[in-house]
A and B are shown apart, each in its own frame.
Chain A
Amino acid sequence: MSDNGASQHNGTWVDVAPLVDVEHGLLNRRVFADEQIYRQELEQIFARCWLYLGHETQLPNPHDYFTTTMGEDPVIVTRDQDGHLRAFHNSCRHRGMTVCPTDAGHARVFRCPYHYWTYGTDGKLIGVPREKELYGGLDKARWGLIEVAQLDTFAGLIFATWDPEAPPLRDYLGDMAYYLDIILNRSEGGTEVIPGPHRWVVQANWKIPAENFAGDLYHIAGLHSPMVHMNMRGPMGHQGYCIHTAGGHSFAAEFGGTYQGKGNEIGYLAHMERLKARVAAEKGEAATKLIPMGVSLTFPNLMVMDSAKFRFIRVLHPRGPGATELHTWAVVDKALSPELKRETTKQIPLYTSAAGLFVMDDEETWTEAMTGARGVIGARYPLNYQLGLGGEIPVSESEYFKGSGMPGEMNRTWPDEGNMRNFHRRWRDLMSGSAWKDLPPATTQPAASRNGGRE
């Protein structure tokens, strides 16, 4: 039996191509509810793509650790004795018990409670009870914790992949790196996360909230109308952007959308205004129109939301086809004052986390969208993803960003559903099992050709 980590997939293969006809804006909702498709995406999406694990500031010191999941696979993320970030399958190589049952902490070793096999924060197997007496020649070097194939960081964000063939992180992010840079790298000194994530489970497939964050702005005028009626958000206007890049990534906002309404001014806006000059110097004036950037989705399951009141990182952890565990971290500029860090963090539970003023609407739709996907009839008729179909143009040729050199595509009209089509197209390509070299690259133009782009 292979012990090199190669895929052992031997289930029935589902050809998802007929279900995802994004060229005509049609999607079969079996992709949300089907158990086989779910198992296939754990393999083809979550065991292949670069996934967000956490933020560097969660592990300031050697031997700090936290636990999370990649798909449904439990992982420990550590800073080893040499200060390197590492990530391992959180499961003993002997009988498979979880070696670290806590969410976060500081530990020099992880000792499996079952037979006391003991591992270092570098994953090495360093202790086996009565090893010489009972095993004779156990090759401990071969039985360390299973390590991710690749780990890297971008702007303080830790990513990893189980796939040794996956392109480097920078290439995987591709053109989206240009935009993530604007959200996360605009302040000198970078960002930090505030301790304590929100964690809650909603009864919906992970792709339903993913679509929402990929850039569904069409829903704001309807679903979030209570907020408009309360004057906590301005009425939906006619100007904004839904921008997507190759590789399935995207983001969207209404110009000034989150600036309107009462209860907004906490001093955070003034901080962001100051940062615009820095971004303009590096990327050109047009890039400052993207501050705050709005909602974003880095394929497959990382959301970063950047608003006039707060910024957060949210990860969608699949828990079966019909359940998703959401983890939400406040992310602030290190340069922000302690008072503003506190105030901006308080906005997240008020507005956009479990029972937040906006998200209580969203949770309702995510859950009820699953209701119609579970039966038979829903799968006989496609869902409509045709808003703006055929109207895509390069961002750099758009009215607002003409000549900016910015990568990606948007639409002649706004809002549109190009971001969701882009997400599902990438999902379909990966689900086909294509090798990375046969997939469309996530980078479409060299950074040097962009206005003020720095490398």
Chain B
Amino acid sequence: MSHAASVREIVGTTPEQVVEAFQRQEILLLQGGRYREWLAMLTDDVRYWVPVLLERERREEMVGDEDEMAWVNDDREKLTLRVERVLSGYAVEETPPVRLRYFVQNLQVTPSADAREIGVVSNLLIYRTRRDQEGFYVGGREDVLREVDGAWKLARRKVIFDKAVLGPFTHSWIFF
């Protein structure tokens, strides 16, 4: 992994320390556009899912299953294509670059019984701006971190936006 040298390995003594260090590192990379380094924080079998929301009568019916249409439903290969795309140097929507600001809070940290995985539920707020465009992504995030060869990596991520109809602004480049 050519970028491993610049990524601080996520270690810690308690699950809370691991999660806090992971979040700090991830936000640093995403806000800095350091997407290849961010990819190194993901497991090889990572699942990254952002379902769409339908406003139905009952809360529990509003999100469908993983076979349905999603904003993002990616494995590592697809995530890598997105990263290559934005770093290609030809992306019109990155000239001038998008500015992103991530806020992750109200963490609920739940280690698995064998302590090899940590479940993290959190609130997510992303501010995004470029030219006259400005917008917020607000929602809930559910992560699973897994220890791989002594380093903690993101194995699963599910993000559900509170808003059903996104916008009004272009989305161009963004990871949630």
Contact = CB atoms under 8 A, between A and B. Distances in A.
Majority secondary structure, A binding face:
mixed
Interface in A250-271: 263
B73 to A, nearest CB: 5
Interface in B153-176: 164-174
B52 A364 contact: no
Interface string A220-249: 000101110110100000000000000000
Contact of A103 (B56, B90, B133): B56
Interface stretch (B22-30, B38-46, B78-86, B109-117): B78-86
A175 interface: no
Interface stretch (B3-11, B62-70, B99-107): B62-70
B57 interface: yes
B81 A200 contact: no
Interface residues of B, number: 41
Nearest to A355: B171
Given A102-B55, A104-B56, A201 B165 contact: yes
B92 interface: yes
A341 B66 CA distance: 12
Contact of B167 (A202, A223, A229, A330): A202
Contacts of A227: 85
A197 B74 CA distance: 17
B71 interface: yes
A137 to B, nearest CB: 35
A232 to B, nearest CB: 7
Contacts of B91: 226, 360-361
Given A194-B67, A263-B77, A355 B173 contact: yes
A427 interface: no
Contacts of A360: 91, 93, 170-173
B164 A349 contact: no
B169 A105 contact: no
A196 B64 contact: yes
B72 interface: yes
B93 A196 contact: no
B130 to A, nearest CB: 10
Contact of A200 (B68, B74, B93, B171): B171
A365 B67 CA distance: 31
B101 to A, nearest CB: 17
In this complex, the member of A225, A330, A360 whose beta carbon has the largest number of chain B beta carbons within 10 angstroms is A360
A323 interface: yes
B54 interface: yes
A325 B165 contact: yes
B171 to A, nearest CB: 4
A310 to B, nearest CB: 11
A230 B84 contact: yes
A342 interface: yes
A346 B74 CA distance: 8
Interface string A108-136: 00000000000000000000000000000
B51 interface: yes
Contacts of A353: 71
B88 interface: yes
B168 A201 contact: yes
A199 interface: yes
A350 interface: yes
B85 A105 contact: no
A202 B170 contact: yes
The 4 A-B pairs with the shortest beta carbon distances in the complex, nearest first, are A201-B167, A355-B171, A201-B168, A226-B90
12 contacts: A194-B68, A195-B54, A195-B68, A196-B64, A196-B70, A225-B90, A226-B85, A230-B84, A346-B78, A361-B93, A363-B170, A363-B172
Interface of B: 51-52, 54-57, 61, 64, 66-74, 77-78, 81-82, 84-85, 88, 90-93, 132-133, 164-174
Interface of A: 101-105, 194-203, 223, 225-227, 229-230, 232, 263, 319, 323, 325, 328-330, 338, 341-342, 345-346, 348-350, 353-355, 357, 360-361, 363-365, 367, 371
